[in-house]
Structure 1
Amino acid sequence: MNAPLTLASTEAVPGTRILGLGHYRPSNVVTNLDLIAQGVDTDDEWIKTRVGIAERRWADADETVVDMAEQAGSKALAAAGVSTADVDLVIVATCTMPTPVPAAAPQLAARLGIDAPGAYDVNSGCSGFMYALNAASAAVRVGQARNALVVAAERFSGWLDMTDRGTCIILGDGAGAAVVGASDTPTFGPVVWGSDGEQFDTVAIDERTHTFRQEGQTVYRWATGQMAPIALEACERAGVDPADIVAFVPHQANLRIIDALVRRIGLPNAVIARDIITSGNTSAATIPLALSRMVEAGEIPSAAPVLLLGFGSGLAYAGQVVLSP
């Protein structure tokens, strides 16, 4: 007869919260005119009208996903006032590591001096930060980690087809990070997430060329038609009226998509993240990068309800109301 297992108890906490944020943008600014000078068949007005981007940041040749994650993660830890000795879990959301193995998270933990944490990557493309944030919150909530560092970092400049003006004008590089810890009261609303796997190949890395491709019009119609109800459901589940949302931070895919969502959701009192204008689309990194910059600039007060909405490749999505740090 087998002896019963002795299960180590874990102590749940009442809630979780974002303790601090951080972000990093490479110093290399690439304007629309720079793209034209590189031979991209486009013009400044076409890009601004189509996607709303004036410039984006591309990493230097020797700057990696982990390098950018380190910069953002270090800043988030400092903002949170959390020591690396008190971090038990590191999650990196990324889809642009140069190889599938090794993962970015263990490397990042070692760089930051976080000793032997749980460490893994999440690859859910543009909604990756939302999935990683909720995984971190759940781990803290049930007592599996005291504090968790969540970093989204992308280096799309290494995956571009410079002859495809529909994609190479959009994508940028950067990183955003959040430290998640325990809270006496819940500050995370229920997440509303899902996916439309039948359209999985509308956003992808081409198997033959190893460059990014997407069916732009299909994604545009899907995002503008399907994501507003997800955002409204996230508000309803959190018990927050859209009129009380202080800030809306959607995935920075396209300025026209963002503006369409604002109209359909109805956010009369919210400041809207439009980081895409100067950062481009950094996939998983767009939400934490934009949120961190807005908090740093004083655009979002502490403990204010913020609506986050990730969507993109997969096609996976996640919407949630959280209180700002």
Structure 2
Amino acid sequence: MRIPEAAPGSKVLAFGHYQPSDVVTNDDLAKTIATNDEWIQSRVGIKERRIAPAGESEVDMAIQAGGKALAASGLAATDIDLVIVATCTPESTIPNVAGRVAHRLGIGAPGAFDVNAACAGFCYALAAADSAVRSGSARNVLVVGTEKLSQWIDWTDRATAVIFADGAGAAVVSRSETPAIGPVVWGSAGDKYDAIIIKDRDSFLHQEGQTVFRWATTALHPVAKEACERAGVDPSELAAFVPHQANLRIIETIARKLGAEQAVIARDIVLAGNTSAASVPLALSRMIERGEVQSGGLALLLGFGAGLTYAGQVIEIP
């Protein structure tokens, strides 16, 4: 038996993101359900969100974000040998999203699989990419988080219609002589599996908001701290904290308990809504684009959501 040549570490070469063009404001929602801008902002912090039109799929959005990440990485499509897509909202489960994304981007015969860890999906997929590169199983990996949550939402349900949105974010992971993606800290709280659930193919997403809020604001800051510890990083050294964009109050509570006040904290939820597995790469890609964070700085990524699942790791910003 031969063991593939291992890499000392892996790094993110580039990020990319995509949002649909259709903007839905809080005032738009107030025309069809019993809500208003003040109520929504005070509870979840969202002002507006992007919703994909009927003809735009999660595959289409993944291609846009993945293509941008690939172009920014300096690699060609032929350099990619593994594609991982994190999503919990595919229109169909067979064939997988990753294979279709790879084909349409011109990536020939890569390994291709999907990850469903809901809102933690991108961090799970990034950890899988890191392991594949370090083990020698892959040299260059395209990792995408993409969601079309709008097709699984009851737009008359105030509890979910004001929160969820559509979009995609992507990253290209490659070999590195020094590790630039820290060890993942992941886990689940399966006893709360039904706090966020779609019961069957004829149902809409249902969320027990208070259960999720209490869990997220009490159980996740230790996970964030452990991810820093395993990477050998003190929270005070972070340039950015990029948690899943679930709820602005959750984001700010975790950041405060983590003790990362000096870091730039992603608040993409205000204008993007909750995009599940897309939210972490989408938020960080937009932060990079706006110049809010600098290359070489350290960012803590933290995904959490349905399952209930969670995962976090520290990365070097490309």
TM-score (norm 1): 0.96
State the 1:209 CA deviation: 4.3
Aligned to 1:4: none
Give the distance between the partners of 2:107 and 2:171, measured in 1 at CA. Answer: 15
Cα separation, 1, equivalents of 2:83 and 2:55: 24
1:217-264 Cα offsets, whole Å, 9 max, x none, are 000000000001110111111111111111000000000101111111
> Which residue, 34, 37, 59 being the options, matches 2:28?
34
Find the residue that maps to 2:182 and give its secondary structure: coil
- Of 305, 308, 311, the match for 1:315: 308
Match in the other structure for 1:255 = 248
Q: Who is 2:152 aligned against?
A: 159
Q: Distance in 2 between matches of 1:160 and 1:144?
A: 38
Q: Is 1:201 matched with 2:186? A: no
* Cα offset, 1:41, TM superposition: 1.1
Structure 1 gaps of 5+ residues are 1-6
Give per-residue Cα distances to partners, 1:61-92, cap 9 Å, x unaligned: 10000000000000000111111111000000
Q: Pairwise CA RMSD of aligned residues?
A: 0.9
Matched, 1:83 2:76: yes
Give, in whole Å, the separation in 2 of the partners of 1:121 and 1:157: 20
Distance 2:293 2:267 in 1: 14
Matched, 1:175 2:168: yes
Amino acid at match of 1:133: L
Q: Alignment identity in percent?
A: 60
How far is the alpha carbon of 1:268 from its aligned partner? 2.4
Distance in 1 between the 2:78 and 2:223 partners?
38
- Give the C-alpha shift of residue 207 in structure 1: 2.4
Identify the range of structure 1 (137-146 vs 52-61) with the bigger mean alpha-carbon deviation: 137-146
User: How far off is 1:103 after superposition?
Assistant: 0.6
Residue 59 of structure 1 deviates from its aligned partner by: 0.2
The aligned counterpart of 1:72 is: 65
Letter of the structure 1 residue corresponding to residue 61 of structure 2: M
Partner Cα distance (1:208, 1:94) in 2: 16
Which position in structure 2 is the counterpart of 1:95? Answer: 88
AA in 1 matched with 2:65: A
| Aligned pairs, number | 318
Any idea what SS the aligned residue of 2:156 has? coil
For residue 148 of structure 2, what is the amino acid of its counterpart?
R
Aligned counterparts of 1:52 and 1:209: Cα–Cα separation in 2? 30
Moved more, 112-121 or 159-168: 159-168
Q: How does 1:215-234 map to 2 (within 5 A)?
A: 215-234=208-227
AA in 2 matched with 1:180: V
